[in-house]
Amino acid sequence: MKKLFALALVCALLASMAASTALAEGKPFDGVTITFWGGQAEYNDGTKAVIAAAEEALGLHVEVEINPGGSEGDNILKTRIASNDLPDFLCYNSGSKLYDLNPSRCFLDIKDWDLVSRVDDAFLSSVTIDGAVYGLPQSSTQAGAIIYYKPDYEELGLEVPHTWADFVDNCAKLKEAGKTPVYFCGGETWTTQVLFLGDYYNIQAAYPTFAEEYTEGKAKYADIPAATRSWTKYEDLVDYLNEDKSAATVADGNFAIGVGDATHWFILTQQLPMIVAEAEDQSQIGVFGVPGDNPENHGLTVWEPMSFYVNKDSQNIDAVKAFLDFYYSEDMLNLYFETYGANGPSCIKGYELPESVCDAVRVDMQQYFDEGKTTPALEYVSPIKGTACEQLTVAVGLGQMSGAEAAAAYDEDCKKSAVQLGYNWD
Amino acid sequence: METKRKRNQIIGDIVGLFFTVVIFLIPFYFMFVQSIKSKKEANRLSIAWPTELHFENYIEVVKHGNYQLVTAFKNSGLLTLFTVLGLLLTGAMAGYVIQRRKGKLMTAIQSTIMLGLMIPASILPTIRMLQSMGIYKTMFSMVMIEIALQTPFTIMLYRGFMASIPVDLEEAASIDGCSRWQIFSKIIFPLLKPIQATIIILVGVQTFNDFTNPLYFLPGAANTTVQLTLYNYKGQLANTYNLLFADIIIITVPMLILFLIFNKRIVAGMVAGAVKG
């Protein structure tokens, strides 16, 4: 009798649970508001479209606060971490900047979430600290590469260069034809580093142990020829730059490449959606990696995207998880990339970008990934980065100092940064 | 001789007008032109008249983020109003006492207040204090912060102006039977009008345009102030200049109107306080 009664109870319990889930099936998070903090770049049209769809499907409401970005953004985030006032989830850099935040104290370790198994390992390694996984990719990967205006190449019958010498050759021909071969944005100094940082594929190809030895202070830019080359490449370009090279901004660059005022631009491919928006047709814009000296090994230096992080103390972790599950469903990924465009191949395993994404990503960049000719940027493999990097790249880029001098100066700079991080470089 | 002088005056006027146009109107015109362009055209940032007019930019800005701008105007309006009212009242009283009384205590109080002009507010301790009082992220706390930050400057202006009001007036009022409170409220306070106007405009503009303090002390989407809405259109990778400038124009207008109303008095008030200590 007792057993029967217990059985009946269990049955009733199960039935009621089933009923309640069935009831909630429609809009499981009706009336829940989750808060999100992110910059304008992350809260773009694609994200907005996905959020609108999620609000429709899940019934929750996403309240967005805009991150002003730059150092102001970093400060405000640190302030809010210190005052225990984080939003439910937020968007921030992956890689070395994540370390600065001491994530174990504020972000949720999500290594048990099913989603994590769908993300590729290269990305995961940039958000994993001491075995804990904190982030999920907001967007696609991107590369530090050369974005170029294809019609100029067709007009002069040029081929995509696979060695640096060929590239400089192409520049000479373009200049002869009265074009501006290379665009240089001295007005926003971070952009000038892309040639140097994007050349890491070639250093790593010629000197595979560079990252470790560099971190230990054994490998110096001034001593290793393959590494010095990253700096001297700027010298080769001095004659081929645009006239307003010391004042041009990123917005100018988007325009110049989009309409063909200049042919090449060393820049992160996160600019592609903006450049394509300027161009007459997306097929006019192409991408290739910074060429090295070996034509057989022309690869791409890859950056990981910004990440979503979840507030450890959030009241709405379930709702955030449901939102993120929704965000990474195939339909929503398609919606995101169709609305915003992509900076590079996606970090989700087995996911293919929709047809509408520009050729520069789907063809030009994808081939490097398919052939396995990619490497993560140095900042994901070594914590050390000299703080004056962009000042030096501007100086060499404008021809105010030689590549060798800059390499030596950068070594000094890295030493300071290494000592600050507690490395012993003597 | 007479005609030559007249001619010089006219030339002077023309030169003055020319500079006014260049310095004040051209930037305004530039903003306006960008705000009615299409996104593509606005990103060129040229001063040329747009090929197509896009007045709907303004509507888009107002609608953006579920009418965020309306909330922002409400927040900024309340913040500015209460900050100005609070400062007018407390600043006038404090300035009066400090100016009229002499002695070591007053010197000490005054130096303490003036220190506020030099020492910047520290953010985290303030937030902790607000949290412990349970008023963090409320409009009340933000008003209090703005008042605290701008008190020294307000008192300084009041004190300077107060020196130009003769003590004889108060003596006469006292003989006629005014109490101390009446002397202040009936005699002194009404005489402060010019400096009140100056303070309304200076403090009003300062508070309305404040960016960093609301950013740190008043986070939350419901608490946005107008200056923070600009970041919807400005990013590291790309800017939507047409919407950015439309937003700027909408935000500038209230302060411009305030300025036009109080314009004449500002200079009077500032100068009155300038020479006398």
SS3 of A352-396: the string is: CCCCCCCHHHHHHHHHHHHCCCEEECHHHHCCCCCCCHHHHHHHH
* Interface with chain B: mutation pick from A37, A40, A61, highest number of B CBs within 10 Å: A40
Q: Which residue of A has its CA nearest to B43?
A: A251
Q: Which residues of A touch B220 (CB under 8 A)?
A: 35, 65
Burial category of A15 from C-beta neighbours within 10 Å (exposed 0-12, middle 13-18, buried 19 and up) = exposed
Do B43 and A278 make contact, defined as CB atoms within 8 angstroms?
yes
**In the 8-state DSSP scheme, what is residue A292?**
B
| A81 and chain B in contact, CB less than 8 A | no
> How distant, in Å, are the alpha carbons of A146, A330, A362 from that of A366?
15, 19, 5
**How far is the alpha carbon of A77 from chain B, nearest alpha carbon, in Å?**
10
């930050």: which residue's tokens? B149
- Output the average pLDDT for chain A: 88
Q: What is the DSSP string of B138-207?
A: SHHHHHHHHHHHHHHHHHHHHHHHHTTS-HHHHHHHHHTT--HHHIIIIIIHHHTHHHHHHHHHHHHHHH
- A251 touches B: beta carbon within 8 Å: yes
Neighboring chain B residues of A72 at a CB cutoff of 8 Å: 212, 215
CATH numbers and ranges of domains, chain A: 27-139+306-352 (3.40.190.10), 142-303+365-420 (3.40.190.10)
pLDDT at A319: 93
pTM above 0.90, yes or no: no
B200: distance to nearest CA of chain A, Å? 29
pLDDT in tens, A302-313: 999 999 999 999
- Residue A423 confidence class, pLDDT cut points 50, 70, 90: confident
- The whole-number pLDDT of residue A134 equals 94
Name the residue facing B235 among A41, A82, A278 (closest C-beta): A41
- List chain B domain ranges: 55-274
Q: Which two tokens stand for residue B233?
A: 């259109």
10-residue mean pLDDT profile of chain B (277 residues): values are 83 90 88 88 82 88 85 93 93 91 90 88 89 91 93 91 88 90 89 87 90 87 85 74 90 84 69 51
pLDDT for res A235: 93
What confidence category does residue A380 fall into, taking pLDDT thresholds of 50, 70 and 90? confident
Higher pLDDT, B39 or A396: A396
pLDDT value of residue B208: 92
Give the least confident one: A12-21, A309-318, A400-409, B163-172. A12-21
Phi, psi of A212 (to 5 degrees): -65, -50
Q: Is A251 within 8 Å of B43 when comparing Cβ atoms? A: yes
Size of interface A-B (CB pairs under 8 A): 70
- What is d(CA A413, CA B144) in angstroms, rounded to the nearest whole number? 45
Interchain proximity A85–B44, CB inside 8 Å: no
Asked if the C-beta of A65 comes within 8 angstroms of chain B's C-beta atoms, the answer is: yes
Q: Return the residue of A nearest to B126 by Cα.
A: A83
Q: Is A200 helix (H, G, I), strand (E, B) or coil?
A: helix
A-chain CB neighbours of B212 within 8 Å are 72
- Does residue A52 belong to the interface with chain B, where contact is any CB pair within 8 Å? no
Alpha-carbon gap: B45 to the closest alpha carbon of chain A (Å): 10
**Residues of A in Cβ contact (< 8 Å) with B228:** 66, 68
Q: Read off the pLDDT band of A6 (50, 70, 90).
A: low
ipTM: 0.71
Give B212→chain A minimum CA distance, Å. Answer: 9
pLDDT at A175: 93
Quick check: B236 and A41 CB within 8 A? yes
* Set of chain A residues whose Cβ sits within 8 Å of the Cβ of B125: none
Q: Please answer yes or no on whether A65 and B219 come within 8 Å at the CB atom.
A: yes
* Amino acid present at A154: E
Cα–Cα distance, A284 to A364 (Å, whole number): 12
Given CB atoms, is A71 within the 8 Å cutoff of chain B?
Answer: no
Partner residue facing A76 (CB), from B40, B215, B238:
B215
Mean pLDDT, residues A210-233 taken together: 92
Q: Is the pLDDT of residue A253 over 50?
A: yes
Q: Quick one: pLDDT at residue A398?
A: 92
Q: How confident is the model at residue A23 (pLDDT cuts 50, 70, 90)?
A: very low
Q: Are the Cβ atoms of B231 and A82 closer than 8 angstroms?
A: no
- Residue B102: CB atoms within 10 Å: 9
- What is the least distance, in Å, from the CA of A278 to any CA of chain B? 7
Cβ contact, residue pair A67, B231, below 8 Å: yes
For residue A119, what pLDDT is reported? 92
CB contact under 8 A, B237 and A41: yes
State yes or no: pLDDT of A98 exceeds 80: yes
Half-sphere exposure of A406 (CA within 13 A, CB side): 27
The CATH code that applies to domain B55-274 is 1.10.3720.10
Task: HSE, CB side, 13 Å, CA atoms: give it for residue B116.
Answer: 17
